[in-house]
């Protein structure tokens, strides 16, 4: 195809100079403009292509365009890069640098100069851009800007999130969508360009504005792009500004595989802007589940404490004896344990209530008010039921203890004496059950309900 096109060019551009033609036929004469136009058309048919070579004769006039020569060992090619394309470069071309250019071949008709209109340029091999980034990484790491001990934890429940990114980028939409879904908070946008030669200065200015807001956390970043597009976040200026922030900073630059210097300096690195939003705010659903788990733990802890005290009461009841003094001490012990159980339950309830109150205040600040009202009502119902259950169990325990005490008192020898009976002991203190165990003249001790009698046996009445 190329050879055919070249052959066609030669036939089209051939100039009849009269060689071998009849003397009477006049040659066809072309203007210089026509010749250059015909050549330009054929050159432009090559379309977009890549060319690699060494830069020489670099010129950068006030117009912002770049003019240089791209050469190798055997040939050279004039190159022009207009201001719009030159402004997108993440590096500054220099003489002697080896570049790979993408552009279109043209002929500058005014001078008849064959040249390449370059649209994009990048260093070959590892590249000057990547080399500069690696040098800066080593420098900042030596200074300790990447150290783990510098990293600060994210706040548990942020109320204000500052976002530093482009106003029109997809990153902002992703962040707002995730924040709205997980836990709506106040979002303050500090807009900034995220690529281009002036982007590092603008990003630093936006970061300082965000830091002055008093927000709980700052998200800085942008969506994916080429290495040149992300270069602003690999600048030393942005890195040092992030390192000086008073506010916790989450960096989310590019996609998951992109790791910028800003990511390494920030307190937290997120693989994408959406992931950054998920990191900085919790899920409402997870918070409600956590509150439910706390309420269940409170109920289980209260039941466990009641069971422990019930078992302790049972052990105390087993140690009660028959004398009245033990019964009285048992009653006092029950009252004391009941007071301790009630006090312990009240203290635990007060502590749990205070913890729940703090959580409710935090949640109230985020405006899930309807859910908190319902949960507060449920908590009050549970507390009321728990209090009623504690009192019922205490009354039941006191009633059971009273029954046991009454049974013990009914079986006590003192109760028998109260019904008119007496205990009779001989001179050696033995209880007498049979009249034949004593003789006339023996002295006996008789214990009544109140007091004792010393008696002498005058006579014995034979058993019936």
| Nearest-10 Cα torsion for 328, 330, 335, 339 | 150
Written as one string, the DSSP assignment of 423-448 is EEE-TTSPBP--GGGS-TT-EEEEE-
CA distance 383 to 310: 20
The DSSP H or E segment spanning 269 is strand 268-269
Q: Which CATH architecture has domain 2-125?
A: Beta Barrel (2.40)
Does residue 320 contact residue 326 with C-beta atoms inside 8 Å?
yes
Q: Determine how β-strand 443-447 pairs with β-strand 452-456.
A: antiparallel
**For residue 43, what are the contacts with CB-CB under 8 A and spacing of at least 6?**
105, 106, 107, 114
- State the sign of the Cα–Cα–Cα–Cα dihedral 291, 295, 297, 298: positive
CA distance 435 to 447: 17
Q: What is the pLDDT of residue 242?
A: 95
Tokens 């023996």 map to which residue?
442
Q: What is the pLDDT of residue 214?
A: 92
CA distance 25 to 345: 123
CATH superfamily, domain 130-280, is: Response regulator (3.40.50.2300)
CA distance 23 to 18: 8
C-alpha angle with apex 444: 443 to 445, nearest 5 degrees? 135
End-to-end Cα distance, the chain: 151
Does residue 6 contact residue 18 with C-beta atoms inside 8 Å?
no
Q: What is the pLDDT of residue 173?
A: 93
CA distance 330 to 349: 28
Q: Residue 431 pairs with which residues in a beta bridge?
A: 425
CA distance 205 to 238: 9
Q: What is the pLDDT of residue 10?
A: 39
**Residue 287: how many other CB atoms lie within 10 Å:** 19
Q: Residue 48 pairs with which residues in a beta bridge?
A: 104
CA distance 442 to 305: 62
pLDDT tens, position by position, for the chain (464 residues)? 333 333 334 333 333 333 444 556 778 888 888 888 888 888 888 888 999 998 989 999 999 999 999 998 889 999 999 999 998 887 788 888 888 899 999 988 888 889 999 999 887 754 566 777 888 999 999 999 999 999 999 998 899 999 999 999 899 999 999 999 888 899 999 999 999 889 999 999 999 999 999 999 999 999 887 777 888 999 999 999 999 999 999 999 988 878 899 999 999 999 999 999 999 998 888 888 888 888 888 888 988 898 888 888 878 776 655 566 666 677 777 888 888 888 888 888 888 888 888 887 776 666 666 677 777 888 888 888 888 888 888 888 888 888 888 777 777 777 777 777 888 888 888 888 888 888 888 888 888 878 888 899 888 887 76
Q: What is the pLDDT of residue 403?
A: 85
**Residue 119: how many other CB atoms lie within 10 Å:** 15
Q: Which of 34, 42, 35 is nearest to 105 (CA)?
A: 42
């Amino acid at each position: 195809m190329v050879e055919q096109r070249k052959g066609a060019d030669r036939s089209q551009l051939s100039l009849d100079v009269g060689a071998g033609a009849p003397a009477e036929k006049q040659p066809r004469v072309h203007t210089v403009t026509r010749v250059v136009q015909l050549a330009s058309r054929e050159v432009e048919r090559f379309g977009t292509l890549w060319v690699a070579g060494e830069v020489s004769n670099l010129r950068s006039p006030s117009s912002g365009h770049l003019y240089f020569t791209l050469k190798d060992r055997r040939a050279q090619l004039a190159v022009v890069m207009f201001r719009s394309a030159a402004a997108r470069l993440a590096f500054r071309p220099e003489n002697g640098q080896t570049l790979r250019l993408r552009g279109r071949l043209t002929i500058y008709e005014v001078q008849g100069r064959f040249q390449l209109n370059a649209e994009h340029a990048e260093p070959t091999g590892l590249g000057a851009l990547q080399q500069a980034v690696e040098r800066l990484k080593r420098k900042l790491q030596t200074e300790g800007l990447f150290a783990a001990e510098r990293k600060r934890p994210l706040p548990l429940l942020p109320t204000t999130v500052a976002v530093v990114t482009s106003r029109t980028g997809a990153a902002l939409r992703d962040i707002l969508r995730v924040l709205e879904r997980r836990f709506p908070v106040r979002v303050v946008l500090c807009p900034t360009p995220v690529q281009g030669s002036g982007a590092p200065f603008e990003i630093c200015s936006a970061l300082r504005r965000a830091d002055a807001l008093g927000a709980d956390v700052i998200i800085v970043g942008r969506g994916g792009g080429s290495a040149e597009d992300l270069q602003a976040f690999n600048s030393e200026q942005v890195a040092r500004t992030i390192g000086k922030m008073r506010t916790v900073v989450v960096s989310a630059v590019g996609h998951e595989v992109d790791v910028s210097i800003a990511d390494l300096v920030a307190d937290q690195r997120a693989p994408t802007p959406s992931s950054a939003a998920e990191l900085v705010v919790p899920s409402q659903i997870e918070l409600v589940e956590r509150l439910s788990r706390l309420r269940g733990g409170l109920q289980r802890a209260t039941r466990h404490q009641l069971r422990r005290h019930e078992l302790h009461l049972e052990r105390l009841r087993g140690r009660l004896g028959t004398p009245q003094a033990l019964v009285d001490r048992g009653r006092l012990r029950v009252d004391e344990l009941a007071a301790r159980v009630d006090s312990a339950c009240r203290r635990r309830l007060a502590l749990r209530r205070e913890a729940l109150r703090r959580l409710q205040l935090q949640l109230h600040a985020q405006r899930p008010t309807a859910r908190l009202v319902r949960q507060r009502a449920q908590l009050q119902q549970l507390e009321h039921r728990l209090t009623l259950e504690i009192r019922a169990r205490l009354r039941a325990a006191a009633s059971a203890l009273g029954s046991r005490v009454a049974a013990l008192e009914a079986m006590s020898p003192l109760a028998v004496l109260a019904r008119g009976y007496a205990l009779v002991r001989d001179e050696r203190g033995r209880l007498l059950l049979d009249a034949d165990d004593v003789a006339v003249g023996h002295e006996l001790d008789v214990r009544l309900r109140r007091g004792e009698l010393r008696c002498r046996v005058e006579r014995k009445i034979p058993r019936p």
